[in-house]
């Protein structure tokens, strides 16, 4: 008798935006090794395009980038109907209660300090993505 086929669960998709190319390469390797599909961008100008075409389940977003900073990218994303509910995690080397307050007020779901703890990053994504999928009904 044939075995029932388990439905295939889509690999979670993560978009990482950071102007630090070596960091992006490490992020990509670590996340792919932990079961994520990953796209990367070195500046915020590509965020809109990648959000629409890659349709990430979560975005990792550097705050300090030339051109559009992370706060501006998040603001633009929140104006898009297809991106309003995507969890966005701030990644920054900035410290202090002022920046933590700005991050919270801007609407980031969480933030991680650089240098990144990749175990913490993977665990955070494994928590945030299923919760966001459940909230969207998918």
- What pLDDT sits at residue 1? 58
- What pLDDT sits at residue 132? 86
Axis crossing angle, helix 21-33 with helix 118-136, rounded to the nearest 10? 70
pLDDT in tens, 43-52: 999 988 999 9
pLDDT in tens, 13-50: 999 999 999 999 999 999 999 999 999 999 999 988 99
- The three-state secondary structure class of 88 is strand
Domain boundaries, the chain: 13-121
Q: Are 111 and 117 in contact (CB under 8 A)?
A: no
Sequence-distant (6+) residues with CB within 8 A of 80 are 48, 51, 52
d(CA 56, CA 88): 10
pLDDT in tens, 72-88: 999 999 999 989 999 99
Q: Are 16 and 39 in contact (CB under 8 A)?
A: yes
Superfamily for 13-121? Answer: Response regulator (3.40.50.2300)
Mean pLDDT of 100-129: 96
Higher pLDDT, 138 or 134: 134
- What pLDDT sits at residue 28? 97
């Amino acid at each position: 008798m044939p075995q029932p086929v388990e439905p295939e669960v889509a690999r979670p998709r993560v978009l990482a935006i950071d102007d630090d190319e070596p960091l992006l390469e490490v992020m990509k390797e670590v996340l792919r090794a932990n079961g994520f599909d990953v796209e990367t961008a070195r500046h915020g100008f590509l965020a809109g395009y990648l959000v629409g075409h890659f349709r990430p389940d979560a975005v990792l977003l550097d705050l300090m980038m030339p051109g559009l900073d992370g706060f501006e990218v998040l603001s633009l994303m929140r104006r898009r109907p297809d991106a309003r509910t995507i969890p966005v995690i701030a990644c920054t080397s900035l410290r202090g209660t002022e920046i933590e307050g700005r991050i919270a007020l801007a609407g980031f779901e969480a933030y991680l300090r650089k240098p990144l703890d990749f175990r913490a990053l993977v665990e955070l994504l494994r928590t945030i993505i299923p919760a966001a999928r459940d909230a969207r009904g998918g």
